[in-house]
Amino acid sequence: MQCSKCGNPKVIYKREQSGQLLCQDCFIESIEKKVIKTIKNEKLLDKGDKVLVALSGGKDSVTTLEILNSFRKMQVIDICAVTVDEGIANYRQEGVDIAKRHAERLGIEHKVVSLKEDYGITLDEIMEKENHRGSCTYCGVFRRTIINKAAREMGATKIATGHNLDDEVQAIMMNYLEGNTGNLTKLGAKTESKAEEFTVKIKPLREIPEREIGLYVVAKDLEVHFDSCPYAMQSFRGEVSEVINQLAEKHPTIKYSTLRGYDKIKNTLKKEMQKEYAHGRCKRCGEPASNELCKACFFLEELGL
Amino acid sequence: MSFLLKYKQLEEKCEIPNENYTIRDLLDEMELSPQTVVSKQNGELVIEDTVIEDGDEIQLVQIIYGG
């Protein structure tokens, strides 16, 4: 057995979808090349961009930071980072500390924003309330609002998130299964909103399977927070992920074919299904909103805050 | 014939049950999916088809958690 690329007998990975065998160096190179290819093909970066990395300290965001940093070294872009502390006991702090260390190591501007400071409540406290809507609903909405605000405050022109192939395929299938055609139009490598308050979002890892990102950080010896969010198992996403992974065992290319299929119909979907953008402003916080309140403020009022 | 197993906080000396016992066999016994862990043999990353030898240190790193 030897590396399909260089012949090194120390193979660390077999790509199920292609049968390719890779040694450590060739594996690392293949991931970096593939991400750079996505960035170029999808035109994710422009020279002079200031990219805000949503940095949780987990494997996906640390990999995003690591690979985007190669563009920073070549002085193509500048990078800053934000870490959201949702207030999840015995889980989030380690990620926050790791994120801080990566930002220091690379010498990039970094800020940590907590739900408690911004909204006066932690996710744990929300989950103690009787009328809550499930952890992921709040986490997603509050985190998105905080990251958007941080991008404006830090002068970022793009927001990079660590969404990987598995995340993207789960989102495609979840939205399809729920009949959520509005959200289905918003996926993709680059999402731009008509509202200028929303910074363009990019997903450089969109074509990398989650497992390969895990192996990449171990192979590169990058410090990351490997742990499970205590609320993760309550999610519909978890159920969808399980089904897709079961299918992938017998059909190793299924995640890529789902992604490619979606990409083929995306433009048609957008033309037919995209909702007109809300031009209103939230009366409570001033953020873009389709109703009187933005989603974050609607949830806050519902929670009695 | 034994090896040292390291997994999360666990550090345990295990017997090698049979010849050509691979990391994949070990993962099966531990009911761990090869999709969620990466394996190191004596500190170096290896694929799951690697045969565990006497005196090996096998470290399993969980890289994917549910959800």
**Interface predicted TM-score (ipTM):** 0.94
Residue A210 CA to residue A59 CA, distance in Å, equals 9
pLDDT value of residue A277: 64
Give the pLDDT mean for A4-9.
97
What is d(CA A299, CA A243) in angstroms, rounded to the nearest whole number? 31
Residue A24 lies inside a defined structural domain of this protein: no
From B44, B46, B62, residue closest to A226, measured CB to CB:
B62
Domain presence at residue A303? no
Comparing CB atoms, the residue among B46, B47, B67 nearest residue A228 is B67
Structural domain range at position B21? 2-62
Q: Tokens in use for B17?
A: 């049950």
Weakest-pLDDT range from A9-13, A75-79, A270-274:
A270-274
What is the distance between the alpha carbons of residues A154 and A80, in angstroms, rounded to a whole number? 8
Q: Which residue has the higher pLDDT, A239 or B47?
A: B47
- Verify whether the Cβ–Cβ distance A241 to B61 is below 8 Å: no
CA A273 and chain centroid, separation: 24
How is residue A159 written in tokens?
A: 């927001």
CB contact under 8 A, A233 and B67: yes
Mean pLDDT of chain A: 94
What local confidence, expressed as pLDDT, does residue B28 receive? 96
Instruction: Round to whole Å and give the CA distance between A233 and B24.
Output: 26
Instruction: Please count the structural domains in chain A.
Output: 1
User: CB within 8 A of A183, min separation 6: which ones?
Assistant: A171, A175
Chain B positions contacting chain A at CB under 8 Å are: 35-36, 38, 44-47, 49, 61-67
- Residue in B47, B66, B67 nearest the CB of A13: B47
A201: pLDDT strictly greater than 60: yes
Given a cut of 70, is residue A97 above it in pLDDT? Answer: yes
Is residue A200 within 8 Å of A53, Cβ to Cβ?
Answer: no
Note the helical H segments in chain A. Answer: 24-41, 59-73, 92-106, 115-119, 123-128, 135-154, 165-177, 181-184, 210-219, 236-250, 254-273, 295-302
- Using alpha carbons only, give the angle A206, A212, A216 rounded to the nearest 5 degrees: 105
Q: What is the pLDDT of residue A280?
A: 84
B38/A24 CB distance under 8 A = no
Give the pLDDT mean for B13-35. 95
Of A215, A241, A242, the CB nearest to B38: A215
CB pairs under 8 A between A and B: 57
* Residue-level pLDDT at A67: 98
Q: Best of B47, B49, B51, B62 to disrupt the A interface by mutation (most A CBs within 10 Å)? A: B47
Structure tokens at A140: 């997603």
Is B46 part of any domain? yes
CA dihedral angle for residue A85, residue A91, residue A93, residue A99, rounded to 10 degrees: -80
Residue A25, domain member (yes or no) = no
Instruction: Please state the rounded mean pLDDT for residues A216-221.
Output: 98
SS3 B6: strand
| CB atoms A24 and B35 under 8 Å | no
Per-residue pLDDT reduced to its tens digit, B26-59: 999 999 988 899 999 999 999 999 999 999 999 9
What's the domain count of chain B? Answer: 1
Mean pLDDT computed over A194-205: 89
DSSP state of A276: P
Residues A171, A232, B63: CA angle, nearest 5 degrees: 85
Q: What is the pLDDT of residue A233?
A: 65
Model pLDDT, residue A278: 62
Query: A78, exposed or middle or buried, with CB in 10 Å at 0-12, 13-18, 19+?
Result: middle
Look at residue A222 in the predicted model and tell me its pLDDT. Answer: 98
pLDDT reported for residue A234: 65
Q: Which residues pair with A271 in a beta bridge?
A: none
Instruction: Give residue A41's domain range.
Output: 30-227+236-274
Closest approach of chain B CAs to the CA of A241, in angstroms? Answer: 7
Nearest-neighbour CA in chain A from B25: distance (Å)? 17
pLDDT for A275-296, tens place per residue?
A: 766 678 899 998 888 889 999 9
CATH number of the domain enclosing A251: 3.40.50.620
What's the CATH number where B55 sits?
3.10.20.30
Contact present, B4 and B11 (Cβ < 8 Å) = yes
Whether A255 is in a domain gets the answer yes
The predicted model gives A12-23 an average pLDDT of 94
Does A156 have pLDDT greater than 50? yes
Tell whether the model's pLDDT for residue A228 goes beyond 90: no
Residue, of A41 and A249, whose pLDDT is higher: A41
**Which pLDDT does position A276 carry in this prediction?**
67
Q: Coil, strand or helix: which one is B60?
A: strand
Residue A298 has pLDDT above 50, yes or no: yes
pLDDT of residue A178: 94
The pLDDT-based confidence of B66 (bands split at 50, 70, 90) is: low
pLDDT in tens, A124-151: 999 999 889 989 899 999 999 999 999 9
Shortest alpha-carbon distance between residue A304 and chain B (Å): 29
From chain B, pick out residues whose CB is under 8 angstroms from the CB of A13.
45, 47
Residue B17 has pLDDT above 80, yes or no: yes
Mean pLDDT (whole number) for A202-222: 97
Q: Is residue B24 part of a domain?
A: yes
Give the residue-averaged pLDDT of A243-271.
94
Residue B67 counted as domain residue: no
pLDDT tier at A119, thresholds 50, 70, 90: very high
